[in-house]
Structure 1
Amino acid sequence: MKATVTWQPSEEGLEFNGAMDNGRTLSLDGNGNGLSPMESVLISVGACSSVDVVEIMRKSRQDMHGCYCELSAERAESAPRKFTEIHAHFVVVGNDINEKQLARAVQLSTEKYCSVMLMLTGNVNITTSFEVKSS
């Protein structure tokens, strides 16, 4: 996997385009006008872990109709302003969802499968919770 991040000169001066070697792109902005690099990391935590949760729940034959992950994070007060805490709250929408299966899916994602969370382990206190909503 390879990527290139290219500065986009402008008056504000902190816009960047990221391009993967497969052609996919992402725009990031250090000015606060668009998605910041740290915001993209937080979203990546939720997306990566949600992929795992959905796949595990599907394999468990759960009648899911929706899944979303609400994230909150705290950052250090001074530079480098890295994340110190991240909480991921998973909400699964469906019929007769087995909460033990969902707890297992969240745990497996957090401890075994989510590469983004696992990359941060040891540097960021990551906690999770979940709830089921009937559809």
Structure 2
Amino acid sequence: MTTVVKWTGSGMAFDAIASTGHQVRMDAAPDVGGANTGPRPMEMVLMGLGGCTGIDVVMMLQKMDQNVHDVQIEIQSERADEIPKVFTKIHVHFKVIGTALNAKKVQRAVDLSAEKYCSVSKMLEKSAQMSHDFEIIEA
């Protein structure tokens, strides 16, 4: 896997291009020379966590024959006060929307993603206290 990150030549904006050809812009806040044209790099880390664990949970629930209509992942984090300002706490909250969902199966999918399958989660747990929970919303 290869990613190229290239400065746009303006302010603090950088374009990241993945080996798959997908592209995303990152930028800094205006108070440090950015123009707010994209998410901050640390926000991208949390977005990656959400995408990684979300894919796991949806795949597992589908394999468990659960009638999932939507999954929303809300991530709250805290960072260290000193540089490097790494994440120290991350809480992942899943909203699983569907019909007649089995709570034990949802719990199992969330736990397996956090404890075994989500590579991003496993990396972040080296520096941050990770926690997760879920709620089921009947569609």
Q: TM-score, normalised by structure 1?
A: 0.94
Structure 2 segments unaligned to the other structure (5+ residues) = 31-35
Structure 1 segments unaligned to the other structure (5+ residues) = none
Cα distance in 1, alignment partners of residues 98 and 44 from structure 2: 28
Q: 1:30 aligns with which of 20, 25, 28?
A: 28
Identity of aligned residues (%): 40
- Aligned pair 1:84/2:79, yes or no? no
Cα distance in 1, alignment partners of residues 80 and 12 from structure 2: 22
- Residue type at the aligned position of 2:51: A
Q: Deviations over 1:107-129 (max 9, x none)?
A: 00001110110111221111000
Q: Is the 8 A contact 1:15 1:31 kept in 2?
A: no
- Residue type at the aligned position of 1:16: F
Runs ≥4 in structure 1, deviation > 3 angstroms? none
- Aligned pair 1:45/2:49, yes or no? yes
- Residue type at the aligned position of 2:15: N
How far 1:2 moved relative to its partner? 0.9
- Residue type at the aligned position of 1:8: T
Q: 2:61 aligns with which of 57, 69, 91?
A: 57
Of residues 89-98 and 30-39 in structure 1, the stretch that sits farther from structure 2 once superposed is 30-39
The count of corresponding residues between Structure 1 and Structure 2 is 133
How far 1:78 moved relative to its partner? 1.7
Of residues 60-69 and 19-28 in structure 1, the stretch that sits farther from structure 2 once superposed is 19-28
Q: 1:17 aligns with which of 2, 5, 15?
A: 15
Q: 2:76 aligns with which of 51, 59, 72?
A: 72
Q: TM-score, normalised by structure 2?
A: 0.92
Q: Is the 8 A contact 1:19 1:26 kept in 2?
A: yes
In the other structure, the counterpart of 1:122 is 126
RMSD: 1.0
Of residues 84-93 and 13-22 in structure 1, the stretch that sits farther from structure 2 once superposed is 13-22
Cα distance in 1, alignment partners of residues 121 and 71 from structure 2: 18
Of residues 27-36 and 112-121 in structure 1, the stretch that sits farther from structure 2 once superposed is 27-36
- Residue type at the aligned position of 1:7: W
